[in-house]
Structure 1
Amino acid sequence: MKKVKFKAYDNFEDQTYEVIEISFEKNKVFTLFRGGLRNVYDFDDVVILPHTGLLDNNRKEIYERDRLEKGDIGYIVSYDDFNAQFVGVNQENESERKPLRELIDTGFVVKNT
Structure 2
Amino acid sequence: MNNSVIAIHNEPKGAIDLKRVLTEAYSNTKAEGSSTACIITLTGNWVHAVNLGDSGFMVFRDKKLRYQSPVQQHKFNVPYQLGNYESSDRPASAKASRINIFHFYMNHMRQCGLCLC
Same fold (TM over 0.5): no
- TM (normalized to structure 2)? 0.31
Length-normalised TM-score, structure 1: 0.32
Determine which structure has the larger strand proportion and give its number: 1
Larger radius of gyration: 2
